[in-house]
Amino acid sequence: MPQQHIEFDVRKIREDFPILSRQLNGEQLVYLDNAATSQTPIQVIDVISDYYKNYNSNIHRGVHSLSQEATNKYENSRQKVQSHFNAKFPHEIIFTSGTTDAINLVAHGFETILNENDEVIVSALEHHSNIVPWQMLCEKTGAVLRVIPMNEEGELVLSEYDKLLSDKTKLVFVNHISNALGTINPIERIIEKAHGVGAAILIDGAQACPHIRPDVLALDVDFYVASAHKMCGPTGVGVLYGKEKWLNTLPPYQGGGEMISEVTFEKTTYADLPHKFEAGTPHVCGVIAYGAAIDYLNGIGFENIQQHEKELLTYATEQLTAIEGLRIYGPTKNKTSVISFNINGIHPYDIGTILDKMGIAVRTGHHCAQPIMDYYKIPGTVRASFSFYNTLDEIDKLVSGVKKAKAMLS
C-alpha cells in the first residue's frame, strides 16, 4: 500500500517509539546499537498485540474464519515484501526465522549441487552468518572456499575478485552492507561479474534493508536475504528472496507439516513454492508485523531516511575524529551510518561499559566479523550505529561520553 511521504520531523518520529523515552541507568536512553537490532514503532507493536487479542490462529489449514483471517494477513505480508523487494512473483518470497536461517536454507540446498571440482567465493567483510554455513557446505561437498580481500578503507578489492572468478566458480555470497564497518559494497558489479562466469549469487541484505530498498529484479540477483528485526520489525522473522528457477531447483530444507503435497510411508511429494520451504507453523504474528514494519519504513520514506542518516554520520565522524587518539575503521566514502572505532591503548569493552553507565547503548567486540578484526589486528571495536530516529543531540552525548571515558581510562 503506497503511503504519502510525510515531512521528516525526527522529534515527531521519535514519539512512535515508546522505548526511546525510557531511562537507562538513571539517564535518558541514547540507543546507538541499531546495526544489532532496530527499535519497534507503536504501529508495529499494535499489529502484534492485535493479532494475539483478536485473531490468533494457525494458518492455511483452518476452515474457520479466524484461520482465514490470519492466512489472508500472512499472505498479504508476502505480497508487501514482494512489492517492496520488487520480486516478480509472491512465491519467490520465503519467510524464514531470519537472515541466518535463510542463508542456511540456501547452503543446505547446494549440498546436492556442488562437488570437489567446484569453487565458491565469499568476501573478507562478511558476518559469521555468511561464512560458517558455506564452510559447512564446503566440508560436506569438497568445494573450495575463496575469499575476496579487503583494504584499509574497508572496501573489497574488486581486482582480486576478478582473479578468483573462473568457470569453476559456482556460487558467490557477499553482503550488501557490512555490519561491522558500514561499507556499502558495489553489488551491481559483483553480481554482474558472478553471472559472467555462470555462477549464482546470494546477497546478504540484513544490514542494507534498514537504509535501502533493494530492487531484486533490477539487480538480477539469484538470492537476497534479510531480517525483520533490523528494519523495525520483530525478531524471529526473516526473508529469503530466490529466483523461481533456483527455488524450484533446490531441495526442501526441513521436512514437516505444510511443506508436503502428499505423504505416504513409501513416498512424499512436496508442496509448490513457497510452501515447500515453509515447514511447520511459521511465526504468523511476526510475519504480519513485518509487513507493518515495511509499511512504516515506506511511510517515512527511504530518501528521508538516507538523508537524515547521512547528516548524522557526517556530524558524528567530524566530532569523533577530532578526539585525539581515536581511529575510525573502514573510513570509505561509500558507507552507511555505522562508526567502528577505538581509542589508542584503551580496550573497546571499557569504553562501552562507561557509555552504558551514561545511558548510551553501543556495541563492543568483533561484531560477528572476526576476519575484519584480524585484518586490522585488533580484538574488536566500539560500534555506534545510527537510525533515522536518532538526533544530532544524541551524537553530542555520544561524543562527550567518549571524551569522558577517554579521560577516565587513560
Ligand X SMILES: *Cc1c(COP(=O)(O)O)cnc(C)c1O
Judged by CB under 6 A, does residue 342 bind ligand X? no
DSSP structure class, residue 176: S
Helix (H) or strand (E) holding 65: helix 65-85
* Shortest distance (Å) from residue 230 CB to ligand X: 6
Tell me which residue of 295, 290, 278 sits closest to 236, measured CA to CA: 290
Q: Report the nearest approach of ligand X to the CB of residue 303 (Å).
A: 22
**H or E element in which residue 360 lies:** strand 360-361
Locate the DSSP E strands across 149-237. Answer: 169-175, 200-204, 223-227
Quick one: residue 245, left, alpha or beta (phi over 0 = left, psi -120 to 50 = alpha)? alpha
- Residue 296 beta carbon to ligand X: minimum distance, rounded to whole angstroms: 18
Stretch that binds ligand X, among 105-113, 190-198, 201-209, 337-345 (CB under 6 A): 201-209
* Residues 209 to 248 in contact with ligand X, rule: CB under 6 A: 227
Measured CA distances, 302 to 6, 80, 188, 213 (Å): 11, 16, 19, 7
Q: In terms of CB distance, is 67 or 370 closer to ligand X?
A: 370
Q: 3-state class of 369 per DSSP?
A: coil
By CB under 6 A, name the one of 172, 203, 206, 273 that touches ligand X: 206
The rounded distance, in Å, linking the Cα atoms of 262 and 247 is 19
Q: Is 123 in the site for ligand X (CB under 6 A)?
A: no
CB atoms within 10 A of CB 191: 19
Q: How many residues bind ligand X (CB under 6 A)?
A: 12
Q: Which stretch in 98-106, 137-145, 150-158, 308-316 sits in contact with ligand X by CB under 6 A?
A: 98-106
Binds ligand X (CB under 6 A): choice among 13, 85, 94, 98? 98
The binding track of 52-91 with respect to ligand X, each residue x by CB under 6 A or -, is: ----------------------------------------
Decide: is 207 part of the binding site for ligand X (CB under 6 A): yes
Q: How far is the CB of 405 from ligand X (least distance, A)?
A: 25
The CA distance from 292 to 290, in Å, is 5
Applying CB under 6 A, the span of 125-133, 188-196, 255-263, 282-290 interacting with ligand X comes to: 125-133
Residue 130 beta carbon to ligand X: minimum distance, rounded to whole angstroms: 6
Cell numbers that stand for 42 in this block = 507503536
Contact string (CB under 6 A) for ligand X, positions 163-192, x = contact = ------------x---x-------------
Tell me what percent of the chain is helix, strand and coil, each rounded to the nearest 5. Answer: 45, 20, 40
274 binds ligand X, rule: CB under 6 A:
no
**Cβ–Cβ < 8 Å for 223, 250:** no
Q: How far is the CB of 327 from ligand X (least distance, A)?
A: 22
Is residue 385 a contact residue for ligand X (CB under 6 A)? no
Residue 33 is a binding residue for ligand X (CB under 6 A):
no
Q: Beta strands of 45-113 (E only): which ranges?
A: 93-96
Q: How far is the CB of 385 from ligand X (least distance, A)?
A: 10
In the complex with ligand X, which residue's Cβ is closer, 55 or 375? 375
Angle between helices 302-321 and 284-300 (to 10 degrees): 80
Q: Among 204, 278, 309, 394, which residue sits at the site for ligand X (rule: CB under 6 A)?
A: 204
Please report how the helices 392-409 and 302-321 are oriented relative to each other, as an axis angle in degrees rounded to 10.
30
129 binds ligand X (CB under 6 A): yes
68 burial level (CB within 10 Å; 0-12, 13-18, 19+)? middle
Out of 34, 38, 77, 130, the residue judged to bind ligand X by CB under 6 A: 130
Catalytic, 368? Answer: yes
β-pair type (223-227, 238-242): antiparallel
Binding ligand X (rule: CB under 6 A), the pick from 78, 84, 91, 127 is 127
User: Of 104, 338, 312, whose CA–CA distance to 210 is shortest?
Assistant: 338
The strand pairing partners of 27, in sequence order, are 24
Applying CB under 6 A, the residues found at the interface with ligand X are: 98-100, 127, 129-130, 175, 179, 204, 206-207, 227
Q: Which residues are catalytic?
A: 368
